[in-house]
Amino acid sequence: MKRAFFAGVTLLVSLTAATLVLAHFGPKEITMTGKDAKAMGPVLFLHHDHQDATNNDCTVCHHTAKAGETALKSCCQGHGKVAGLSTNKDALHQSCKGCHKESKAAGKDAPTSCKGCHVK
């Protein structure tokens, strides 16, 4: 009886851990419609796809986050609003385009042109 109980507890803990590892945090998609998007068109950011690509390492994009943290600030909360920080557009272009170019060089499908992300 004890063996079955411990096996059940072990299974429950394992399934819970696996669920947390595979979990997606935040919205599935984010439509970025800042002032710069008016000229080029908005960007549909596939948040869960990017989480998969980074193995749920939120710090890849949310550079102020701490590992394991799930309540994160968006980039728009600081960039362009706090003295000394680059604009949101510059920060996103530097981070996103750099990562997309690296991914493309590694043979992955990642847009690197303006129209690849900005859709009118």
Determine what percent of the chain is predicted with pLDDT higher than 70.
65
Q: Between the CA of residue 107 and those of 27, 103, 104, 110, what are the distances in Å? A: 27, 7, 5, 9
Identify the structural domains of the chain with CATH numbers, from first to last.
2-117 (3.90.10.10)
Q: Which residues pair with 43 in a beta bridge?
A: 32, 118
Which H or E run includes 31? strand 30-32
Digit-coded pLDDT (tens) for 4-53 = 544 554 544 444 444 444 467 788 998 888 777 788 899 999 999 999 98
Q: Which residues pair with 31 in a beta bridge?
A: 44
Q: Is the pTM of this model over 0.75?
A: no
Tell me the two tokens of residue 37: 């998007």
